[in-house]
Chains A and B, each alone.
Chain A
Amino acid sequence: MDLQCIGKSILRTDAYDKVTGKAQFVADIKLPRMLYARILRAEYAHAKILSIDTSEAEKMPGVMKVVTAQGCDILFGACIKDQPPLATDKVRHAGEGVAAVIAETERQAEEATKKIKVNYEPLPYVIDPLEAIAEGAPIIHERNHEYFRVPGFPPVKGTNIFHHYKLRKGDIEKGFKEAEITVEENFYYPLLSHVQMEPHGCISYWDSPESVRIIASTQAPFIVREIVAQMFHIPMANIKVEALYLGGGFGGKSDVVIEPMCAYISRFVPGYPVKLILTRKEAFTSSLVGRGMRGKIKVGAKKDGKLVAIEASLYYADGAYGDTGCNVVTASGFVATGPYEYEHCKIDCYGVYTNTPPVGAYRGYGHPEAQFMSERIMNILAEKLGMSQQELMRKNFLCDGKVNAIGQIIRPGNGNLYKCLDEVEQALYEVPKPQEDENFVYGRGLAAFMKTPMMIPHASSGAILRMCEDGSFNISISGIEMGQGCQTVLSQIAAETLKVPLEKIHISKHVDTQHSPYEWQTVGSITTYRAGNAIIQACEKAIQKMLETVAAIYHRHIGDLKYEGEFITSKSDLNLRFETKKLAQAYLSPDGHGVGEQIVTGGSYLIRNVQFPHPETGQGNCAGTWTFACEGAEVKINKHTGDVDITHLAVAIDLGRTLNPSLARIQMIGGMMMGYGATLTEELIFDDRGKIKNANLNQYKIPKLSQMPEKFTVKFVETPDEAGPFGARCIAEHPVIGIPPAVLNAIKDATGVDLFEIPVKAKVLLEKMGGKK
Chain B
Amino acid sequence: MKTMQLTVNGKAHTVHYDDKTMLIDILRDKLDLTGTKNGCGHGACGACTVIMNGEAVRSCIIKAAKAEGKEILTIEGICEGNKLHPIQEAFIQAGAIQCGFCTAGYIMTLHALFTKSPDATDEEIKKVLEKHLCRCTGYETIWEGAKLARRMMKEKITL
Residues of A within 8 A of B (CB): 9, 11-12, 14-25, 27-28, 30, 107, 194-199, 245-248, 250, 279-280, 482-485, 662-663, 666-667, 669-674, 696-698, 702-706, 708, 712
Contact = CB atoms under 8 A, between A and B. Distances in A.
Given A30-B32, A198-B101, A25 B37 contact: yes
A672 B103 CA distance: 20
The 9 tightest CB contacts between A and B, nearest first, are A21-B35, A18-B100, A483-B99, A247-B101, A483-B98, A673-B138, A669-B138, A697-B44, A21-B75
B100 A666 contact: no
Interface in B72-90: 74-76, 79, 84, 88
B95 interface: yes
A705 B101 contact: no
B107 interface: yes
B135 to A, nearest CB: 5
Size category of the B interface is 35 or more
Given A12-B92, A666-B95, A17 B41 contact: no
Given A697-B40, A705-B126, A708-B140, A19 B92 contact: yes
Contacts of A662: 95
Main secondary structure of the interface of A (DSSP, over half): loop
A581 B126 CA distance: 50
Main secondary structure of the interface of B (DSSP, over half): loop
B38 interface: yes
A11 B137 contact: no
B133 A702 contact: yes
B140 A712 contact: yes
B52 interface: no
Given A248-B99, A698-B42, A21 B34 contact: yes
A196 B101 CA distance: 9
B59 interface: no
Interface of B: 20, 28, 32-42, 44-45, 47, 74-76, 79, 84, 88, 91-93, 95, 97-104, 107, 126, 129-130, 132-143
A483 B95 contact: no
A708 B91 CA distance: 18
A663 B134 CA distance: 16
Nearest to B34: A28
B105 to A, nearest CB: 9
Nearest to A246: B99
Given A18-B103, A482-B99, A697 B45 contact: yes
Contact of A21 (B38, B95, B104, B130): B104
B97 A248 contact: no
Contact of B137 (A16, A198, A670, A706): A670
Given A199-B39, A666-B137, A698 B126 contact: no
A22 B37 CA distance: 11
Contacts of A197: 37, 39, 45, 47, 99, 101-102, 133-136
A250 B141 CA distance: 20
A543 B129 CA distance: 48
